[in-house]
């Protein structure tokens, strides 16, 4: 369970942002919610710790997603945050590229696409070529040839101010990636639902 402050407000998410709707987020009658991302960990750490900050935070998240081959209402994320003086976008891209090559091999194809997240600016989405079709296009990648792995970007100065950091003195990057999607790529799993079906014939392979 999480509060709206940590899940949305402290991450610079506007009150009218679609992600705050009851059709996207699970709310309790108390006003608390099931966290939609691991990003609240960033806020809690920065509130308690002065820069430099370097964290990796895995955790379970919940969204009112329609279940399909690549989406589930319950899933796992890994959150990364690095804050220090003069942290740059090139460092973020370099670190994520290194991660991709260590995970998938030197020949993996990756791309960064401009995107919008309220808590980072600039923001990108980070994709691997589809593991099922090899980038040719199929049902799993929605015929695009790519599967989104991570949302990332430079921490928005507004977020720094909300936790008491001076954005004139520090910069930082953050990313969040889906554990299940990485597992799908590594093991050639065509449907995320297979990870939750409790079929011992499938699970016994791991």
- Give the domain range for residue 97: 37-203
Mean pLDDT of 145-167: 95
Q: Does the residue 125 lie in any domain?
A: yes
Q: How many domains would you assign to the chain?
A: 1
Q: Does the residue 69 lie in any domain?
A: yes
Q: Does the residue 163 lie in any domain?
A: yes
How many angstroms separate the Cα of 134 from the Cα of each of 75, 97, 108, 125, 188? Answer: 24, 18, 10, 19, 11
* CATH (domain of 156): 3.30.930.10
Q: Does the residue 11 lie in any domain?
A: no
Sorted by sequence, the CB contacts under 8 Å of residue 137 that are 6+ apart come out as 130, 143, 144, 145
- pLDDT tens, residue by residue, 41-81: 999 999 999 999 999 999 999 999 888 888 899 999 999 99
Mean pLDDT of 131-148: 83
Q: Does the residue 30 lie in any domain?
A: no
Q: Give pTM, 2 decimals.
A: 0.88
Q: Does the residue 25 lie in any domain?
A: no
Alpha-carbon gap, residue 30 to 194, rounded angstroms: 34
Q: Does the residue 77 lie in any domain?
A: yes
């Amino acid at each position: 369970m999480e509060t709206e402050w940590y899940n949305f407000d402290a991450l610079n998410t506007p009150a009218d942002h679609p992600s705050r709707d009851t059709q996207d987020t699970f709310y309790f009658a108390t006003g608390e919610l099931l966290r939609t991302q691991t990003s609240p960990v960033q806020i809690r750490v920065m509130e308690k710790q002065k820069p430099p900050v370097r964290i990796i935070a895995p955790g379970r998240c919940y969204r009112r997603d329609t279940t399909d081959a690549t989406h589930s209402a319950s899933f796992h994320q890994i959150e990364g945050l690095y804050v220090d003086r003069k942290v740059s976008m090139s460092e973020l891209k370099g670190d994520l590229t290194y991660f991709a090559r260590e995970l998938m091999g030197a020949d993996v194809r990756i791309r960064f696409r401009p995107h919008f997240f309220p808590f980072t600016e600039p923001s990108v989405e980070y994709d691997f070529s589809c593991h099922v079709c090899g980038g040719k296009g199929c049902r799993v990648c929605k015929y695009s040839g790519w599967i989104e792995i991570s949302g990332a970007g430079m921490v928005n100065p507004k977020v720094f101010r909300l936790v008491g950091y001076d954005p004139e003195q520090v910069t930082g990057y953050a990313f969040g990636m889906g554990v299940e999607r990485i597992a799908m790529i590594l093991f050639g799993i065509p449907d995320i639902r297979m990870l939750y079906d409790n079929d011992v014939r499938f699970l016994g392979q791991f």
